[in-house]
Amino acid sequence: MKKLSDELQKSYYILVFIFSFSCLGLLYIFASYMIKVSSADITTTNIFIDYELNEFTEKLEKNIPIDKLFKGALEECPKIDNVFVVFDYNGKIYSNSDIYPKELDLKEHDGIQNIGFYDYQALHRTIYVKGIEPIDLKIIKDLKGDKIIFFRSIGIAGVWIIFTLIIGIYISKKFYNMFIPPLRNIQEITNKINLDSLDADVKTENNFVEFISIIHSYKNMLSRLKKQTDAQIDFVNSASHELKTPITIIGGFIETIKLGHFKDRKQLEYFIDIIYRETQRLNHLINDLLQLSHIENSSKSQKNIHTISLPNTFNTIISLYKNIAIKKDIVINTNIENVSIVSYISEEWLRTVIGNLIDNAIKYSKPSTSVNVIASIKNLKLIISIEDFGCGIEKNELKKIFHRFYRVDKSRNNKIEGTGLGLSIVKNMILNMKGKIKVKSEINKGSTFVITLNILDIK
C-alpha cells in the first residue's frame, strides 16, 4: 500500500534531483565558457604580436632602437584583463605588467597549455626576426579570479541544493501533517453516518474542499441507498399487506364454512364465491409481483431482434378484452398501421403493456363509451396511443400512478378490481425497452396513454 508522506517525499526528491542536475549543467557550461574566452584572449594577443613583430625588420632598418620597438609593441597590444605579454630578448625582459607570474615554469609548446588546475593558460614560443636574436614570447592568462568565481558558484549551488532538500522534506512533512487531521475527520464522519443519521451535521471548518466533496459524495451515495432501501421496505410492506388481505378474507370464510355458520346453500355459495374471487385476486397479485421481479432481473428486450406484425399482435390482445368491454357497452375502436416491425422489442412484453393499458382504459371508462387504440410508425418510432373517456386522473396524481401499489382514490377504486401494479409493470417494461410513456388526462373527461418505442425497420 502506498503512503501519502512517502509519495510526497518522493516527488520532492525528484524535484531536488532535477534542480541539482540543472545546477551542475549550468556550472559545466560556465566552466567551458570561461576556458573558451581565455583561449580566445591568448589567440587574439598572439595574432596581434605576430603582426607587430613583422614590422620589426623594417623599423630596425630605420635605426629605431630595439628597446623602443619592444615597448612600442607592448603598448600597442590590446589591453585584456589578466593577460600578460612577456618578451625575453637576450636575457632582458619586456612585459606589459610588472606583476606577471614570474615563477611560472613554462615549457615551449605549440599550442595553449593549462597550468595547475585552471590556474593559468599560457602560450610559450620563440619568434625569429630577421637581423636580431630569437625572441622568447610568453602570453599568460591568469584564471585565478575566474576560478574563484567558479568555485563560489559551486559552493552557492551546493548550499542551495541542500537548503531546498531540507525545505522539501520540511514542506512534505508539514503538508502530510496537514492532511492527517482532515483524513481522520473523514474517517470519523464516515464511521458515524449511517442510513438513519444522514442529516447529521458534518463539520467542514478547517477541512479541505476536496475532502468535503468526498464526504458530500458519500452522503449522496448513502441517501440514494436510503431511498432504495425505503422503496424496497415500502414495497415489501405493501406487498405483504396486499397479500395478507385476501388470505385473511379466505381464511375467515373457510373457518365460517368449517364451523357450519351459514344459513342455507345460497349463503354457502355466496361465501365460496367470495373465496373464489379473493383467490383470483391473490393469483393476479402474485402474477404481477413475479412479472415485476422478472423485469428487474432481465434486459430481455435488448438482446434479440424480433419481427412483430402490428395488426396480429393488437387484434390478439383486443380479442381478449372484447367480452369485458361488451359487458360495459364499450366499443374498442382500432387504427393499427398494417406493417410488421423489426426491433429489439419483445412481443411478450409489448402484449403485456398494451393489455394492461386497454384493461385500465375499460376498467376506468364510463359505460357506453369507447376506447380508441392507435398504432402508427413515424421516423422509425412505434407510437401507440390508448384513449378512454372515463373518470380521468387528477393532475397531481399523474406521476404517482406509475408507483407500485398506488391506486388513485382507494375508496373509488375499491369497487374496481386491481392490484395497483399494472402501470408500474408497464413503465418498467417500457423503460427497459428504452422507450417512453406519457399520459394526458382530464378529470371526468378521460385519459390518453402514449407510448413511443424505437424500431429498426418496417416490413
* Binding residues vs ligand ADP (CB under 6 A): 360-361, 364, 388, 390-393, 401, 406-408, 413, 418-424, 447
Closest CB 393 distance from ligand ADP, rounded Å:
5
Nearest residue (CB) to ligand ADP, 39 versus 448 = 448
Closest CB 407 distance from ligand ADP, rounded Å:
3
Nearest residue (CB) to ligand ADP, 278 versus 388 = 388
Nearest residue (CB) to ligand ADP, 207 versus 424 = 424
Closest CB 365 distance from ligand ADP, rounded Å:
7
Q: What is the rounded distance in angstroms from the CA atom of residue 441 to the CA atom of residue 365? A: 12
Nearest residue (CB) to ligand ADP, 182 versus 422 = 422
Closest CB 275 distance from ligand ADP, rounded Å:
21
Closest CB 228 distance from ligand ADP, rounded Å:
21
Name residues whose C-beta falls within 8 Å of residue 333's C-beta, 6 or more positions apart in sequence. 370, 371, 372, 373
* Amino acid letter, residue 232: Q
Nearest residue (CB) to ligand ADP, 113 versus 279 = 279
Closest CB 388 distance from ligand ADP, rounded Å:
5
Q: Which residue is nearest to ligand ADP (CB)?
A: 418
Q: Sort strands 113-115 and 92-95 into parallel, antiparallel or unpaired.
A: unpaired
Nearest residue (CB) to ligand ADP, 41 versus 388 = 388
Closest CB 428 distance from ligand ADP, rounded Å:
11
Nearest residue (CB) to ligand ADP, 135 versus 421 = 421
Nearest residue (CB) to ligand ADP, 408 versus 458 = 408
Give the cell for residue 372.
380508441
Closest CB 378 distance from ligand ADP, rounded Å:
24
Q: What is the rounded distance in angstroms from the CA atom of residue 263 to the CA atom of residue 258? A: 13
Closest CB 386 distance from ligand ADP, rounded Å:
8
Closest CB 432 distance from ligand ADP, rounded Å:
17
Nearest residue (CB) to ligand ADP, 141 versus 427 = 427
Q: What is the rounded distance in angstroms from the CA atom of residue 395 to the CA atom of residue 385? A: 19
Nearest residue (CB) to ligand ADP, 44 versus 279 = 279
Contact by Cβ (8 Å): 457, 306: no
Distances in Å between the alpha carbon of 98 and those of 93, 95, 101, 102?
10, 7, 9, 9
